[in-house]
Amino acid sequence: MKYLTIIIGLLIALSNSPKKEADLIITNANVLGIDNVIIENCCIVVEKGKIAAVGDSESILKQYDAKNFYDAKSAYVYPGFNDAHCHFFGYAFNLAQYVDLKDTGSIDEIIEILKEYDKKYSPVFICGRGWDQNNWQIKDMPDWSKLNAEFPDKPVFLLRVDGHAALCNKKSFEMAELTERSVVAGGEIKLINGEPTGLLIDNAIELVSAIIPEPGIPQMSEALLQAQDTCLKYGITSLTDAGLGKNEIKLINFLQKTGKLKIRINAMLNPSDDNFDFLKNKFSETELLKVVSVKLYADGALGSRGACLLKEYSDDSGNKGLIITDYEDLRKICKYAYENNLQVCTHCIGDSANRVMLDIYSEFLKYGNDRRWRIEHAQVVNDDDIGKFSQYSVIPSVQSTHATSDMDWAGIRLGDQRIKDAYRTKELLEQNGWLPNGTDFPVENINPVETFYASVFREDKSGFPDGGFLPDQKLNREQALMSITYWPAKACFDEKVKGKIEPGMYADFVFMDINILDCKKEDILKSKVLSVWINGEAELVVH
Ligand SMILES: [Zn+2]
């Protein structure tokens, strides 16, 4: 009887205990739970930018009160998307350096856009990209006459949509010391009646592009914020930039500290003494910025036959591609990284490049290590090498949309047999049981839902090919979702704070209109991001 009184007393005390006060309670949310199932009608409690509690509405509202409430209106709530490998700064650089001329209809329209741009920014060099005379009424290739008349004293450089031609003005030719007599291998300075027209083709483009000064800090800052807006639009709250120098990192850090750049960035460091020195002595990690890895390049790309293969290209006899960084340098940097507790992330496309790097890694890494050294792309991996990923705990970092973008010509480069060694997404996942996924934007589109779709269906956006390209390598929906949320976080040692909706994690979310794990296939690419949250604050709300 005595005990019963105590228990009843305790229960009364508990039921009367004051509610805990939080910063925010998100109500009426369909939340991705730990077991990758959507739990309906949940509340998420946010305190100091982190998740304090998640649970069914009734029990949460009994325990918590908050200064702010947000009704999710049955939206599906996922951890903020995380791009495991992209070029955020490079994308912003393109925005800053080039005026967008993509949907222009004539040279006159281009000139109007350039005049306005010149008035606004007064750059020393006017650069544009994206024009395509096939979309114009007059479909002949343009010449420089109108540009010369409008911009006699300021250099102009306008890249065609495919990057294989550029229209310049006379001033830029003068500055680059180009004449009709200049010659370049693999390129052409277009002449009519022996006179230059301002058009440069292929390798000749570099004769002018090489003298263009880089955009200044104000332009880059604006472009980085613009790049952030695009990322937020697609639900990205975190990303890994695959290769930055100290000055780029400093600018990102500065913009994050002003409160304008809110997206979380993991920067892979380009290897140089200067950059290593900066990391050692002058950089301290923040909640928004970390630098824990060094980026190396073993080879080039498959499309341009720069990827290094064990045997010659099927469509280019005698050519195996090249290892582009000296073998001893690769080893030296790996040794430095190992001794200084840095992660190594190496770009490897061809089967030879993958073998070279896996073997160098294995010299340093022991079995079952937790250093998470990465191979970026891991695009063509020979059967004799694939087991080395699990043997040395090397993390493959893939881009599912590369498979569906390359599928039309990859088999021609590699041949019927070797193509089976390419884009081995599922087998790579099985190596360590997890796999970070990215877009490599601006190479591919920024949208992580396209990565999800390509991972699950191995089809392009038009649904081709029916049944999928190399369909044995499909991921299931849960794996595909983890590959754009939790696993990219784990790939940069952030798994305790990012990628799941659990207490202790950052309150970074993306609210969507579909249950991506259990909706019709055709609804996936039509899905909408409703709002995006970083640190428990809505950075973007779509009405
Ligand atoms: Zn890349």
pLDDT digits (tens, 9 = 90+) for 131-181: 988 889 988 899 999 999 999 999 999 998 777 789 999 999 999 999 888
Give the DSSP letter string of 275-315: HHHHHHHT----SSEEEEEEEEE----TTTT-S--SS-BTT
Among 16-20, 33-37, 356-360, the range with the most confident prediction by mean pLDDT is 356-360
Q: Residue holding tokens 């994050």?
A: 256
Q: How far is the CA of 79 from the centre of ligand 1 (A)?
A: 24
Burial class (CB within 10 angstroms; exposed 0-12, middle 13-18, buried 19+) of 172:
buried
Q: How far is the CA of 56 from the centre of ligand 1 (A)?
A: 41
In the chain, what are the domains?
2-74 (2.30.40.10), 88-209 (3.10.310.70), 217-538 (3.20.20.140)
Give the DSSP letter string of 420-453: GGB--HHHHHHHHT---B---TTSS-S-HHHHHH
Confidence of residue 388 (pLDDT cuts 50, 70, 90): very high
Hey, is 229 helix, strand or coil?
Answer: helix
| pLDDT attached to residue 184 | 82
Q: How far is the CA of 446 from the centre of ligand 1 (A)?
A: 13
165/513: higher pLDDT: 513
pTM: 0.87
Q: Residue 68 in contact with residue 44, Cβ under 8 Å?
A: no
Give the DSSP letter string of 142-209: P-SHHHHHH-SSS-EEEEETTSSEEEE-HHHHHHTT--TT---TTEEEEEETTEEEEEEEETTHHHHH
Q: How far is the CA of 312 from the centre of ligand 1 (A)?
A: 24
**Tens digit of each residue's pLDDT (9 = 90 or more) over 461-472:** 999 999 999 999
Contacts of 294 (CB under 8 A, 6+ apart): 268, 269, 270, 271, 333, 337, 342, 343, 344, 345
Paired sense of beta strands 99-100 and 50-56, if any: unpaired
- Average pLDDT over the chain, rounded to an integer: 94
Q: How far is the CA of 303 from the centre of ligand 1 (A)?
A: 14
**Tens digit of each residue's pLDDT (9 = 90 or more) over 229-274:** 999 999 999 999 999 999 999 999 999 999 999 999 999 999 999 9
Sign of the CA dihedral with 410 first, then 414, 415, and 417 last: negative
Q: How far is the CA of 239 from the centre of ligand 1 (A)?
A: 12
Residue 266's φ and ψ, nearest 5 degrees, are -105, 115
Q: How far is the CA of 242 from the centre of ligand 1 (A)?
A: 6
Q: How far is the CA of 412 from the centre of ligand 1 (A)?
A: 23
Q: How far is the CA of 11 from the centre of ligand 1 (A)?
A: 58
Q: How big is the chain, counted in residues?
A: 543
Cα distance between residue 92 and residue 94, in whole Å: 5
| pLDDT attached to residue 16 | 61
What are the distances in angstroms from CA 22 to CA 46, 64, 91, 263? 6, 7, 38, 23
Angle between helical axes of 383-391 and 425-432 (0-180°, round to 10): 30
Q: How far is the CA of 295 from the centre of ligand 1 (A)?
A: 10
Q: How far is the CA of 271 from the centre of ligand 1 (A)?
A: 15
